[in-house]
Amino acid sequence: MYSGLSGQPAALINATLALTTVGQFALAFFIATFVLSWGGYKRSPLVIHLFIITLFSTLPQYFLVYAGEIYNPTPPTALCATQTALLGGAQCTLAVLSLSLVIDLLAEARSILGRLATIRRVLVAAPYITFVLMSSGVAAYGATHPEQVKHMPNELACTLQNHTLVRLGPLAIDASIQLDIGLRFVQKSHSGWTAIAIVHSFTTRTRKYQQQFCAPDALDYAQAARIVGFTCLQTLLLIIDVLRTYSSTDSVLAASVILHALAPLLIALMSGLTSETIQSWRRATTVLHWFVRRPGHAMTQQSGKASPLGRAATPALVVNIDIDVTVDGLGDHDELREPCKPLDLIPSRPDTPHYHTQARF
């Protein structure tokens, strides 16, 4: 079944599953960091959706492994069809997301005409719309052509044996969505308006945004480098998939499996190690350090320590007692009353209880 992967296919499958699991934990960690850090989410709202979509896209790849059907050439039809539909939608979604990140970077630098909040809402919704459309199309085609949904040799997942739909379908959906985004938010260059911008400038929408348009800001080169790295990774995965479609050599198969396993971890490290996440970790460390060093926590820890006598140390109760001594017999009508002063061994506190005792001799 997996003779083309390596001499030990089980070891390679387990290694790829372990690498993917590490990447999934890294993605979940960065998702929690961005959720708990409102500043980081407000700064880059598309990044957390990148993590969510990447984490979700890694799950369908190993449905056969999770179900124990990885070595079964004819897995259950429902499982195979579900895996094929989800994989088709996930691959197309990541391609749209890479283009959305580029447009978001240009919009943040105010190089695109339009409101940043509106642009980001459209860019966030575009990958999910793409996933629904592509998954629905693949599921409908698989339901009408069940003989083309197969678990092929040297494949870790079920695939649709229709290369035209698998390859051209995502490209058509990507082109239509990006064309719609481009018509909504036209880029302004230093040389002048493009042809589309000239036609679109006669509308009320463009005139309204033209009044609010500001000069472009400097690009965030660190964010641009991360987006370029993510785009290059997606391009490399696409090239490997095309080579795997038309070539069945052992090296191409092994490289494809290993690269898909490393993709979640690489995406988490490239897009997650930002200044916002590092500052969030520092703030969390500071809060944890303050919680450990706070006075109440320190007194609680000290109260549980054992005393030299072997008993737990408890705070002493300080009681001030005023004693009045009356001496009889010194005279017929003389009665000496002299109050004794309290001992100053332990300074008294305002909330210390006082007890009055009278002794007669």
Do 253 and 154 reside in the same domain of the chain?
Answer: yes
User: Is residue 245 in a domain?
Assistant: yes
User: Is residue 314 in a domain?
Assistant: no
Task: Report pLDDT for 127.
Answer: 84
Do 275 and 332 reside in the same domain of the chain?
Answer: no
Task: Report pLDDT for 156.
Answer: 85
Q: Percent of the chain scored above 70 by pLDDT?
A: 55
What CA–CA distance (Å, rounded) separates 201 from 100? 23
Do 93 and 231 reside in the same domain of the chain?
Answer: yes
Here the tokens at position 220 are 């965030």
Do 60 and 113 reside in the same domain of the chain?
Answer: yes
Chain segment 78-107, per-residue pLDDT in tens = 899 899 889 888 877 877 787 777 777 776
Angle, helices 250-272 vs 45-58, to 10°: value is: 150
- Residue 314, pLDDT > 90, answer no
Residue 264 belongs to domain with CATH number: 1.20.1070.10
Do 118 and 265 reside in the same domain of the chain?
Answer: yes
Q: Which residue has the higher pLDDT, 60 or 335?
A: 60
Strand (E) or helix (H) holding 337: strand 336-339
For residues 251-263, b (16+ Cβ closer than 10 Å) or e, as one string?
ebbbebbebbbbb
Structural domains of the chain, count: 2
What CA–CA distance (Å, rounded) separates 324 from 319? 16
Which candidate, 264, 234, 272, places its Cα nearest to that of 57?
Answer: 264
Of the listed ranges 43-52, 56-65, 178-187, 205-214, the least confidently predicted one is 205-214
What CA–CA distance (Å, rounded) separates 223 from 46? 12
Binned at pLDDT 50, 70 and 90, residue 113 comes out as low
Q: Percent of the chain scored above 90 by pLDDT?
A: 3
Q: Angle at the Cα of 98 (from 96 to 102), degrees rounded to 5?
A: 115
Residue 349 belongs to domain spanning:
320-360
Do 91 and 153 reside in the same domain of the chain?
Answer: yes
Task: Report pLDDT for 282.
Answer: 73
Task: Report pLDDT for 18.
Answer: 92
- Residue 180, pLDDT > 50, answer yes
Signed CA dihedral, 254, 256, 261, 262: sign only: positive
- Residue 184, pLDDT > 70, answer no
Do 356 and 218 reside in the same domain of the chain?
Answer: no
What CA–CA distance (Å, rounded) separates 53 from 48? 9
Chain segment 233-289, per-residue pLDDT in tens = 888 887 887 787 777 777 788 888 888 889 899 988 887 777 767 777 777 677 666
Do 181 and 137 reside in the same domain of the chain?
Answer: yes
What CA–CA distance (Å, rounded) separates 57 from 51? 10
Strand-pair category, 149-150 with 159-160: antiparallel
What CA–CA distance (Å, rounded) separates 44 from 274? 10
User: Is residue 157 in a domain?
Assistant: yes
